[in-house]
A and B are shown apart, each in its own frame.
Chain A
Amino acid sequence: MGELRLMKGNEVLAEAAVRCGCDGYFGYPITPQSEVMETLMELKPWETTGMVVLQAESEVASINMVYGAAATGKRVMTSSSSPGISLMQEGISYIAGAELPCLIVNVQRGGPGLGTIQPSQADYFQTTKGGGHGDYRLITLAPASVQEMHDFVELAFNLAFKYRNPAMILTDGALGQMMEKVELADQKPRWTREEILAKSGSWATTGRTPDRQRNIVTSLELDSEKMEQNNIRLQAKYQQIEENEVRYEEILCEDAEYLMVAFGTSSRVCQKAQEVLREQGVKVGLLRPITLWPFPSRVIGEKAKSVKGILVVEMSAGQMVEDVKLAVFDACCCVPVAYTGRMGGILPSPGEVVEAFEQKLLKR
């Protein structure tokens, strides 16, 4: 059993980063996630593990610092909230194009624009459909508890390095600010130079030694034939990730006649709504996507065949619902798929979800 503590989601992100042997954090303050860097600065990991923590002049600089450090084979990360993540999109596209492993955390707030500092899930499209320019994908993990905020930091780094691809933890201000019990992992050492050379020496800029050609980290290829080949290679990688890395949780789905699909904070609200509906005798299951990309399309398609209706609950105008509809369509199924949710920094209440469920699926 690891150390147990009562902690905020944002604080846990920082603690988990240090404990999994992260080499560096580069960030810029923005509500509701500023505690990530504040906690790191208090922890002073440069005195213990040697982890670098730097407050950059902007999110644009932060993500490019991540680019530079990640391209040397180091395990580095940044965190921000929606408007800051928008600023990072150029850098994220370059990181995806140069195939650099790193972790980006988005503690979402309501938009568009400067919006609000309250929690939201309206960056789903931005995260799972690209966000920046070009055909690329982010491995996206959506925690639903403070414990998962902890666990997904190391998982995200492992997936990022397994596929040489940026990984994102897509969470929101509610989980960032919420305090829950968390079991912390034991401290792991940072990778040694030898370990970095063994894992990433074939591509990372670790210094041009006589035993190899120079390593060049770039996303540029002016020869269109070669650039298309680069894209084909990327797409093959993304397909491999889609085959291997889909993660989801099924909550009371065995006997389900109806299904709710929700991720992160929304799934916590849905768990309560599920309790209420089951007390009324409605057999409703909850499917919680943990990876938003790759999306658990196959399992949703299978479930769609045995239920009478699906309700997708989001803290947005309805974004993931499009992927649920595609999953149902791909399964050649015509079960009704409805959406409910709140926007602009408001969490739907369990009562609202129950009411929407009754109106849209039970037609009461």
Chain B
Amino acid sequence: MEIQDIIKPENLVYEKSKLQVNVISHYCPGCSHGVVHKIVSEVIDELGIQEKTIGVSPVGCAVFAYNLIDIDWQEAAHGRAPAVATGIARTNPDKVVFTYQGDGDLASIGAGEILHACNRGENLVVIFINNGIYGMTGGQMAPTTLLGQVTATTPYGRTVELNGYPLKITELIAQLPGVHYCTRQSVHTAATVRKCKNAIRKAFQNVMDKKGTSFVEVTSTCNSGWKMTPVQANEWMVEHMFAEYPQGDLKDNDKKG
């Protein structure tokens, strides 16, 4: 059998989602964003909601998400994506609205907006990329930076005295009655990618079913900011980040009673 006999549509086992725009990604090799973008593209495509979905991109590394996924997008001011998404969702109840935010955007400057949007139970998907660092501005401390972690603004490691504690914002969000589904996932292995995709699909389905806020944290790597190779970053995340940010569902109202 020749290779040409194998390269046929019926033998295809994987293809890129048609929602992933054919441009060179601006993300660093090894970064979790690319995988999460792929998942979001696939889920929107598989649910058949390209025409109904409006994404809100943050300020941070994902600011250019609108160049990578073929849907209508709005670019929000730093931290304000949940307010922008509220405005869209309230005046367009037929749309599926999601925000895509990093830890600086969501847990620091936008802590107020995310808490209140979730507390109102806005009908939104929130994708929260938690890599414990400010990637875009060059690796400064985030609210989710671990104690002892070295960043550009904690060159001797984060200390409680100077910087306070890592903010477990996802645990806080899970407490809010308006939140229907709150989970913490990662994308560092094939198995976790599949699990994360299930979580993101469930979140989008929840919004289609008008169940309120669905919040998906993806504990992520920033190998550039962490000054590690992609493999080292994955290992460091499992060892250190997972201890602070335990994986799995924090809340799922579908499983109640």
Contact = CB atoms under 8 A, between A and B. Distances in A.
A91 B75 CA distance: 12
Contact of A72 (B75, B77, B92, B113): B92
B88 A58 contact: no
Interface string A17-42: 00000011010000000000000000
Nearest to A67: B84
A91 B77 contact: yes
Interface stretch (A201-209, A289-297, A300-308, A314-322): A201-209
B113 A57 contact: yes
Contacts of A90: 77
B55 to A, nearest CB: 9
A56 B83 CA distance: 9
B183 interface: no
Interface in A207-228: 207-210, 214-220
A67 B91 contact: no
A94 interface: yes
B146 interface: no
B116 A205 contact: no
Given A61-B83, A64-B83, A71-B88, A205 B76 contact: no
Contacts, number: 121
A54 to B, nearest CB: 6
A60 interface: yes
A217 B88 CA distance: 12
B255 to A, nearest CB: 30
A68 B73 contact: no
Nearest to B67: A216
Nearest to B66: A216
B58 to A, nearest CB: 11
Contact of B90 (A52, A62, A71, A219): A52
Interface string B68-108: 00111111110010011111101110010000000000000
Contacts of B83: 56, 60-62, 64-65, 67-68
Contact of A218 (B66, B71, B87, B88): B66
A324 interface: no
B237 to A, nearest CB: 29
A296 to B, nearest CB: 33
Contacts of A58: 112
B154 interface: no
B204 to A, nearest CB: 15
B87 A207 contact: no
A61 B77 contact: no
A208 B90 contact: no
Interface string A86-112: 000011001000100000000000000
B95 A207 contact: yes
B66, B73, B77: most-surrounded residue (chain A CB, <10 A): B77
A205 B74 contact: yes
B50 A208 contact: yes
Interface in A55-83: 56-58, 60-62, 64-72, 74, 76
A62 B87 CA distance: 9
A59 to B, nearest CB: 11
28 contacts: A54-B86, A56-B86, A60-B80, A60-B83, A61-B113, A64-B83, A64-B84, A65-B90, A66-B87, A68-B56, A68-B74, A70-B87, A71-B74, A71-B84, A76-B91, A91-B77, A205-B73, A205-B88, A207-B53, A208-B50, A208-B70, A208-B71, A215-B72, A216-B66, A216-B72, A216-B75, A218-B66, A220-B63
Nearest to B116: A57
Given A90-B77, A207-B72, A218-B74, A72 B66 contact: no
B72, B90, B91: most-surrounded residue (chain A CB, <10 A): B91
Nearest to B44: A208
Nearest to A95: B77
B168 interface: no
Contact of A68 (B70, B87, B112): B87
Contacts of A65: 83-84, 86-87, 90
A72 B72 CA distance: 10
